[in-house]
Structure 1
């Protein structure tokens, strides 16, 4: 696998026509970029950095596969969907793992290149490159942790196994798993450093280049998953202070069947579900992945999200992504920040501010003149409202799985259920199965790795 990654990286460099990188022998050094242009080309490679995890979609509760989807489906996808106790095949490549570590590998090479050029090139040229690399590495590690580790819990994070943190360009370095706490500490450290380096403005053309608002937004997402509400609120507010614009669903959509352009005004950073997500993508195209009917019933008349996000057919399927295509969007967006800030305000006792933020967001989602603002008498009532609207607004973004994991730590407890050919399968709150198996390839190549206990 490590040689496959190296060859893939080399092929990408050749495709970028970076001839000066091909003068050395085929060792690790060949992929260390030597100019800011090389670094930017590596970081702009959407084939590498646009892809995020898919097993978090497969395991959550936003859609269901019809029975017609299962013949020919990869067995590991079927097993994940059925919440089975399983292992990946010995030779099976697992995109959710491989994509994350390929992204970290690219980011580490850019950071190495920045270190080599520091002092000989203006830091103003190097800073945004280093910041983007740190952002992308943090995003890769966080996404992988949502699939392959148990959720963060301050009481157990120092004991539960995490994922290896590859911080160098040495492909042969055997790394231990460390702890969940070590993973989150690294993600937060990378994002904190990125914030200081990234530009405050958003590139209107290259939405796959990170920026300070996106770094604040990602750190807010991370803090929320940890239950650090004050910190999440500070970062969501910090991002909105730099960039705050909402699409009015009455007038601001791109076109009826493709409502959002890739460069839409709410997107801070672009990424999408990929890898084994192609199974889900194909099923959506074939109407073999349909939206949960209970979720659809939560959208009231006058709520434009029902027809913007989903097809009019019954049963409905998902149709609209901020990625600009059917592939589900997994990047950073403004509406998520409103919901993080609303939730954290409610949890911290400021009901009025929390609902003010929610009402401002929802007014842009409803038919003009039909939205009636929410009110609540208690923080608990406000929180219940906000969490439901969070589920409806952030549908098919890969966030639901992380939300279920964190919310089950404090309640209300949610048991997930999937059905395959009249057989029902359940995933109970706080089960060890909220961490998917480590790929067998990884365990075979890295003697310091060990398998998750999925009980």
Structure 2
């Protein structure tokens, strides 16, 4: 096959988007067709525009990591709904039965069956992984590039791949527990872009060790900051390691990695200044004019940008908040006040989004790292230092007339304060769900959710099976060259 003609990435995307999400995982590794010798030239021409061939040069491969919809986009819709972090209308609850099951904590619902209507988190993550696999597999074959460029691109892809696996592990499998993680299944570990390559559904322990090794091995080849905000550099890698170690309960290493990340970028956005500059609009109760979000690609807190709730190809508002969820923000939280406003439409009252644009909901940011550092310090008994890190964040969020340093000598109380800020700062990402699952293992922090809706009481216990999302039935029925077991009963 000649290599003079080049496949354009837009052609791949159109091919990718034409495949139905319910088919087997490995159909989402269609990008692998362009790099594997297992497919003949005639097979290539069956799926690609005639006259176009496979990528060869660094300049061909590098743009693959710039596609925001395929590589840098993950919804975690059901975890957000389970937490009741967003307002969902009765019309949507009536239409989306899986949403209803999670929103009302219906333990008897068969979410495995209902999940056929909502498989995006699974397949979107593996689509991103497939692109990373393609680049990693071809790292030493790219032409017209320096060795440093090739190594850097491969290292970047490895960090993104690890982040995808973190999301998958904390959505579709039990939370990490040293006592059980070697025996419990996680998700399929796919390392090849070849559509026919075998894969294994590894244990939770194996997947976590893979992520750690993947990132650690990438660090020497990463620049301090990435080529773009879509290319994680060393700061993002250290931030992701800090997140992983915190999830594992390894607080010394979480602290070490957090400090390394903050040594690269420790900037915090000043929401007090933003609130002051937009005060008249923010405080006008009937002004619902949408303002461009500052939490975009250029946000000073970014290590790595990743889209969340909606497609990355267009600007969007954030989810609306339930009134009871909005009450969980601190009084005088300028970031909250700048993003949502109370509104009543017909029978529904909620906090509607007042910002539009591209939101870094699933990426890596300095504020998360500050709060990882704070918890790691509190866990080691350094409560004063933990509160210094927490208050550093709060000083850029809480209006001056409402602000006071939080002070305590009680590590448990400090961690609860840290978690309050973290749940609010990272709302709509995977992290509130991951953190609550982690903390539900500890009597001091485990939490039972309660609510009353239309005269009925609902409860979500810390031991409920609802804390694990079911792997899509389509993946179980069409596992490709491997076997997949469901991780939850229903």
TM-score w.r.t. length of structure 2: 0.79
Farther off after superposition, 403-412 or 307-316 = 307-316
Residue in 1 that maps onto 2:131:
106
- 1:413-424 equivalences under 5 Å are 413-417=446-450, 423-424=456-457
Residue in 2 that maps onto 1:242:
264
Shift of 1:408: 0.2
1:47 is the counterpart of 2:69: yes
Shift of 1:90: 9.2
Q: Deviations over 1:279-319 (max 9, x none)?
A: xx8994xxxx532415425421x331330232243644353
CA RMSD of aligned residues (A): 3.3
| DSSP-derived class of the 1:382 partner | helix
Residue in 1 that maps onto 2:476:
443
Residue in 1 that maps onto 2:465:
432
2:440 to 384, 405, 408: 408
Q: Deviations over 1:390-449 (max 9, x none)?
A: 223333333111111000011322123466765554332133332211111111112621
Residue in 2 that maps onto 1:313:
343
Residue in 2 that maps onto 1:178:
202
CA distance in 2, matches of 1:34, 1:326: 32
Shift of 1:103: 1.0
- 1:206-355 equivalences under 5 Å are 206-252=228-274, 257-260=291-294, 261-274=296-309, 284=319, 289-300=320-331, 302-313=332-343, 315-317=349-351, 319=353, 325=357, 329-355=361-387
CA distance in 2, matches of 1:241, 1:217: 11
In 2, are the aligned partners of 1:67 and 1:421 still within 8 Å (CA)?
Answer: no
In 2, are the aligned partners of 1:162 and 1:183 still within 8 Å (CA)?
Answer: yes
CA distance in 2, matches of 1:368, 1:266: 21
| Count of aligned residue pairs for this structure pair | 433
Shift of 1:181: 0.7
Q: Deviations over 1:24-79 (max 9, x none)?
A: 44459999742111221111111112211322222223234232332333x33333
- 1:378-393 equivalences under 5 Å are 378-393=410-425
In 2, are the aligned partners of 1:295 and 1:392 still within 8 Å (CA)?
Answer: no
Question: Cα distance 1:424–1:110, how it changes in 2: closer, same or farther (>3 A)?
Answer: farther
Residue in 1 that maps onto 2:79:
56
Shift of 1:212: 0.9
TM-score w.r.t. length of structure 1: 0.85
CA distance in 1, matches of 2:203, 2:54: 29
Question: Structure 2 stretches of 5 or more lacking a match?
Answer: 1-22, 283-290
Shift of 1:190: 1.3
Q: Deviations over 1:249-303 (max 9, x none)?
A: 122579663341431111111112247999xx8994xxxx532415425421x33
CA distance in 2, matches of 1:35, 1:123: 12
Question: Cα distance 1:169–1:32, how it changes in 2: closer, same or farther (>3 A)?
Answer: farther
Question: Cα distance 1:212–1:71, how it changes in 2: closer, same or farther (>3 A)?
Answer: same
CA distance in 1, matches of 2:160, 2:132: 7
CA distance in 2, matches of 1:224, 1:262: 26
Shift of 1:112: 1.1
In 1, are the aligned partners of 2:293 and 2:358 still within 8 Å (CA)?
Answer: no
Q: Deviations over 1:57-112 (max 9, x none)?
A: 22223234232332333x33333334433213696571111011111111010011
Question: Cα distance 1:111–1:441, how it changes in 2: closer, same or farther (>3 A)?
Answer: same
CA distance in 2, matches of 1:440, 1:68: 26
| DSSP-derived class of the 2:459 partner | strand
Shift of 1:453: 3.3
Question: Cα distance 1:7–1:116, how it changes in 2: closer, same or farther (>3 A)?
Answer: closer
| DSSP-derived class of the 1:342 partner | helix
CA distance in 1, matches of 2:386, 2:180: 30
Residue in 2 that maps onto 1:396:
428
1:95 is the counterpart of 2:120: yes
Question: Structure 1 stretches of 5 or more lacking a match?
Answer: 14-21
Farther off after superposition, 251-260 or 387-396 = 251-260
In 2, are the aligned partners of 1:303 and 1:365 still within 8 Å (CA)?
Answer: yes
